[in-house]
């Protein structure tokens, strides 16, 4: 089941906490992350392709606008996060309690993106199991 591309930030231990902005695409038997060229780190300019038979699970991180992907793809960490809104920068925030502000931002963003993320989880699961 193909889905229209959507803008996300891919975050894992190799991208840093702010991640890399790009498009998430589901087509055929693979999930693809295609980074934006401007502002991307040179070593992250290529697509990241997740063959669906190497995806263990997809889930919606509770109370946040995050799609959590558990994978067994060589060269990648086992957990990849896709933020549907820009990840909050809680480390350089001038606010009194940046962690609280970051949590509130994520909760509010989940209200906006929750249904869309649930749709992605369902589509990935259907494509993985051949039900779609």
Q: Which domains does the chain have, with CATH numbers?
A: 3-129 (2.30.29.30)
pLDDT tens per residue, range 16-68 = 878 899 999 999 889 999 998 765 554 555 789 999 999 999 999 888 999 99
pTM: 0.83
Query: Which residues is 8 bridged to in the sheet?
Result: 22
- Residue 38: CA atoms inside 13 Å, Cβ hemisphere, count? 0
Provide the pLDDT for residue 110.
76
Structure tokens at 122: 């369902």
Provide the pLDDT for residue 124.
95
Nearest-angstrom CA–CA distance, 63 and 54: 26
Structure tokens at 17: 């906490």
Nearest-angstrom CA–CA distance, 38 and 56: 31
How many other C-beta atoms lie within 10 A of the C-beta of residue 83?
Answer: 24
pLDDT tens per residue, range 68-116 = 999 998 888 999 999 999 887 666 655 566 566 667 777 778 788 999 9
């Amino acid at each position: 089941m193909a889905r229209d591309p959507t803008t996300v930030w891919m975050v894992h231990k190799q991208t840093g906490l702010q991640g890399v902005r790009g498009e998430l695409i589901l087509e055929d038997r693979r999930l693809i992350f295609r980074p934006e060229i401007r502002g991307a780190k040179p070593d992250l300019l290529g697509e990241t392709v997740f063959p669906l038979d190497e995806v263990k699970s997809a889930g919606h991180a509770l109370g946040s606008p995050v799609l959590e992907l558990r994978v067994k793809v060589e060269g990648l960490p086992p957990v990849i996060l896709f933020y549907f809104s820009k990840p909050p920068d809680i480390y350089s925030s001038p606010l009194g309690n940046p962690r609280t502000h970051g949590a509130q931002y994520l909760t509010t963003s989940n209200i906006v993106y929750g249904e869309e993320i649930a749709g992605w989880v369902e589509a990935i699961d259907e494509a993985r199991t051949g039900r779609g």
